[in-house]
Amino acid sequence: MGIRQQMFRFFKIWLLLFFACLLNYLPAQNSYSDLYAYYEKNNFAELKTCLDRYKTDNSYDIKFFKALFYQDGEQAKKIFEDIFKHSQGRAKYHSAKKIMDYYYAKGYYVNASKYQKYLVENSLQEKSEIKTAPETKTVEYYVQAGAFSLRENAEQRVKFLKIQNINSKVVERVVNNSKLYCVWIPGRKTVEATLEFANEIKQKYSLDFQIMKN
């Protein structure tokens, strides 16, 4: 075999290896949206299966997803704190939510309020489409006290709140191509006042909430 033929053969092998590596690289770059979709739909079984393809991926997004399956809550919190401190975008936002939930579960409401404020100021609401706009009011913030796939369930939550003398309404939103019926309670004029009001509701009625900016 001549030198020219050997060089050509070597080039072909190198080219094949290059494209093989490229094909393995591209899914990791393009599939995060799929992973977030599984996460936001609470489809953890599918999420865990997909994570097996990212064993060598050390991006903050993948670190977030892997931490979701840690048995040690304290260890997972440390990972979320590191992601919150050093990353941006969805990984940072969802990590803030996990840290906030952790501190609420521990009863550390002051610690949780820092992350609540971040979530309000950096709400992912702009990524959703609101089908039923809120009534025109001076209220700038709302307390979302539930998001349901069935309108009947949202209306039941509204009835429950009405019994407690808390006014609320159902707002239809589309998030990641999924329709949700959300229960919105008018908040206060500032983030701090709305968070205080939301915490009172949570402590009295054990309702998880999210602050939404109008």
* pLDDT tens readout for residues 15-56: 655 555 544 444 444 457 888 888 888 888 999 998 888 888
| Range from 10-19, 31-40, 154-163, 165-174 carrying the lowest mean pLDDT | 10-19
Of 176, 196, 180, 188, whose CA–CA distance to 214 is shortest? 188
pLDDT of 90 above 70? yes
Q: How far is CA 17 from CA 13, 23, 24, in A?
A: 6, 10, 11
What is the rounded average pLDDT for all residues in the chain?
79
Percentage above 70 pLDDT, the chain: 76
Tens of pLDDT, residues 175-193: 767 788 999 999 988 888 8
Q: Which residue has the higher pLDDT, 200 or 24?
A: 200
- pLDDT of amino acid 66: 94
Nearest 5°: CA angle at 148, between 95 and 180?
80
Return the amino acid letter for 102: Y
Helix axes 109-121, 191-205, angle to 10 degrees: 130
- pLDDT of amino acid 138: 56
CATH number given to 125-213: 3.30.70.1070
pLDDT of 169 above 60? yes
Q: How many whole angstroms separate alpha carbon 103 and alpha carbon 105?
A: 5
When pLDDT is averaged across residues 133-140 and rounded to a whole number, the result is 54
Q: How many whole angstroms separate alpha carbon 2 and alpha carbon 169?
A: 80
Kindly write down the DSSP assignment for every residue of the chain, as one continuous string: --HHHHHHHHHHHHHHHHHHHHHHHHHHHH-HHHHHHHHHTT-HHHHHHHHGGGTT---HHHHHHHHTT-S-HHHHHHHHHHHHHH--HHHHHHHHHHHHHHHHHHT-HHHHHHHHHHHHHT-GGGGSEESSPPP--S--EEEEEEEESSHHHHHHHHHHHHHTT---EEEEEEETTEEEEEEEEE--SSHHHHHHHHHHHHHHH----EEEE-
Contact at 8 Å (CB) between 159 and 169? no
- pLDDT of amino acid 27: 44
**Domain extents for the chain?**
31-121, 125-213
pLDDT of 146 above 50? yes
Contact at 8 Å (CB) between 95 and 61? no
User: Which range, 12-16, 79-83, 176-180, is most confident?
Assistant: 79-83
